[in-house]
Chain A
């Protein structure tokens, strides 16, 4: 067990025993070595399940709005950003929350890892070895530079070891450098995007895993996409209907989306949703000079109808 994990577990036990928290939310090992699973520790002994690794890819902030207990949460900069955004909108109560920041070196992009190493669902071992990610599938061992298989957003993340938190654990980390890989051409226009999404959304199952995994999608069961009264998306299935749902979702999380990519990683059919949300993020930045997850004091744009915002968007 590495030093960080010892620190994590000790911290969790301390928080539970002191009564600072009724539940500690972190990550633990799952059935598969390339993905961690959320852990809810309510007793000291459950703290022994806690880990931290580049496979801790869920954005745990998703659980906060529905939680009724006093909680402590381990956060990567992604969770921290989501928490800031939720606080800015008054969706969670800061008094019931203890935030422990974890120094994060970068998180694996399962899509990249799969392209680099094969069907990671069949992996029997996966670990960081220096600057390399090693994955064992069957008798084969695949070694890839870590920077090649981390999330794009980790390559440009400025928050590796200073996140919004009550305390920080873990040694300072070196930010990663590498190149973002995007299938989007420089001159992509509306027609290009439409074609791209119509093909991708062909396989959307409308399982709403993207929505349920997203901390910004706090409407959950009340999502207008499933409304029986106003049929924003029709009964028939197909890329058009899926596009309608995703456009609706992208607009609703505009100004709240911190581009963590949890939606994309949740998608069982691997639709690269982050491309959509990054695009919307760019527009929000340009129109409203706003970036989600930066300040608890600034309310996001598009909260309510505002004439000024309408004019800014060029209508």
Chain B
């Protein structure tokens, strides 16, 4: 499909048409409560509501696909035996409108874990399948943005539709068949991009591409050589409170816990968000905990993002959105950490960017079809 443009005036009409068939989530400011400004997030919008596309949201859209709480299975034990029901049905269509490149890229990183062919998570796959991403390239980078240092870019094309703000109009390019459909829904609200539009789009992209800050980060291997440098980690973590603000507001953090709720006869198994910053995250049955100390937990978060994840999946577990920097109650700055680490080891040429999946080999569905199984002969539970 040829690139299109849509005027700012027509944008609302397009959004309203999208809302007819899908739930649309878009950046919205918070409503102040009389004391604090609250937090901006991707909220579901209704027809006639213009999203606040200028906002880089405080809360990432992560939770719209990677749910805080995902039901994995239900179980029931009675005379007939143990019945386990797992899997999920079809979900209503969803669109995340105005998602920034870093946040969109974050889903591709989480995909590495939850769409791993060896053990895909059904609920995540279903959400991912049913959610289209309409991206908005960044017009300028924020003070805490460092996407370009971790292999991203403010003008990355990651989702289904890519939009560039040209002032009085948006340049719109469909990146996937799903994206094409979404543009088609808009019908004559769009016109084909002219030569002039193309020129302006290129200029806008060049401007922002060169405006963002960039610094070197340590290579995965070099960082792992720092693992046993206790003093380094201790001094990094002196002020760390070990709360979960950074992990819960990070669009790529995806550590989880699995919990059963119910009785021995009947209940649900959930996958919930967890944080490597919490002591209980690593406490084993019997009480042993390899990460009692705060600094070991901070080390885990940094090593996972910038060493293990790169080694396992070929990409850093960070998209440089800067939310952890903004949300940290003690102003821990992950960029400073990276710079301090580089000062000890050596900087890495960014060698992992190519390893994100290509459009063709994206795994977007799940092997676990809804199923029921029954085990055993049943009877009284002792």
Name A residues whose Cβ lies closer than 8 Å to a Cβ of B: 30-32, 35-40, 58, 62-63, 66, 111, 114-115, 121-122, 124, 181-183, 196, 199-200, 203, 205-209, 211-213, 220-221, 226, 228, 231, 234-237, 264-272, 275
Contacts and interface: CB of A to CB of B under 8 A. Distances in A.
Contacts of A226: 278, 280
Nearest to B293: A66
A122 B58 contact: no
A124 B68 CA distance: 35
Contact of A183 (B35, B142, B279, B330): B35
Contacts of A208: 243-244, 278
Given A203-B39, A211-B243, A266 B329 contact: yes
B248 A37 contact: no
Given A114-B37, A226-B280, A270-B38, 18 more contacts: A31-B333, A38-B330, A121-B326, A124-B143, A200-B33, A203-B59, A206-B244, A206-B248, A209-B327, A212-B242, A221-B292, A235-B261, A235-B272, A268-B248, A268-B327, A269-B38, A270-B37, A272-B35
Nearest to A269: B39
A164 B33 CA distance: 35
Given A183-B35, A205-B248, A37 B142 contact: no
Contact of B331 (A32, A40, A182, A228): A32
Residue from A124, A181, A264, A266 whose CB has the most chain B CB atoms within 10 Å: A266
B275 interface: yes
B9 interface: no
Contacts of B278: 208, 221, 226
A58 B280 contact: no
Interface residues of B, number: 48
Contact of B243 (A66, A212, A231, A271): A212
A270 B39 contact: yes
A207 B242 CA distance: 10
B257 to A, nearest CB: 9
B46 to A, nearest CB: 18
Given A31-B144, A31-B336, A37-B239, A111 B245 contact: no
Q: Which of A37, A196, A200: most chain B CB closer than 10 A? A: A37
Contacts of A183: 33-35
5 contacts: A39-B239, A121-B326, A209-B243, A209-B245, A272-B33
Interface in B177-213: none
Contact of B39 (A36, A228, A236, A268): A268
B15 to A, nearest CB: 23
Contacts of A182: 34-35
A308 to B, nearest CB: 36
B259 interface: yes
Interface string B236-254: 0011011111011100000
A38 B238 CA distance: 9
A31 B335 CA distance: 10
Given A209-B244, A226-B278, A228-B280, A203 B41 contact: yes
Contacts of B143: 32, 121-122, 124
Nearest to A137: B143
Contacts of A203: 30, 38-39, 41, 59
B275 A269 contact: no
Given A183-B35, A212-B243, A269-B58, A235 B280 contact: no
B274 to A, nearest CB: 10
Nearest to B235: A40
A235 B261 CA distance: 7
A287 to B, nearest CB: 26
Contacts of B335: 31
Q: Give me the 5 closest cross-chain CB pairs, A-B, nearest first.
A: A183-B34, A266-B329, A221-B279, A30-B331, A268-B327
A12 to B, nearest CB: 15
B376 interface: no
Contacts of B333: 30-31
A209 B331 contact: no
Interface in B291-345: 292, 294, 325-327, 329-333, 335-336
A182 B39 CA distance: 19
Nearest to A270: B36
B144 A236 contact: no
B331 A37 contact: yes
Interface in B333-364: 333, 335-336
A236 B59 contact: no
A181 B37 CA distance: 14
B243 A213 contact: yes
Contacts of B244: 205-209
Contact of B241 (A32, A115, A205, A212): A212
Nearest to A62: B241
A265 B35 contact: no
A30 B249 CA distance: 20
A122 B248 CA distance: 21
Contacts of B232: none
A212 B39 CA distance: 20
Nearest to B38: A270
B286 interface: no
Contacts of A30: 331, 333
Given A207-B243, A226-B280, A199 B58 contact: no
A121 B144 contact: yes
B241 A268 contact: no
A207 B248 contact: yes
A200 B31 CA distance: 10
Interface in B32-89: 32-39, 41, 58-59, 68-69
Contacts of B38: 203, 269-270
A266 B245 contact: yes
A72 to B, nearest CB: 15
A266 B243 contact: yes
A207 B238 CA distance: 19
Contacts of B327: 209, 268
Contacts of A39: 239
Contacts of B35: 111, 181-183, 272, 275
Contacts of B279: 220-221
B249 A268 contact: yes
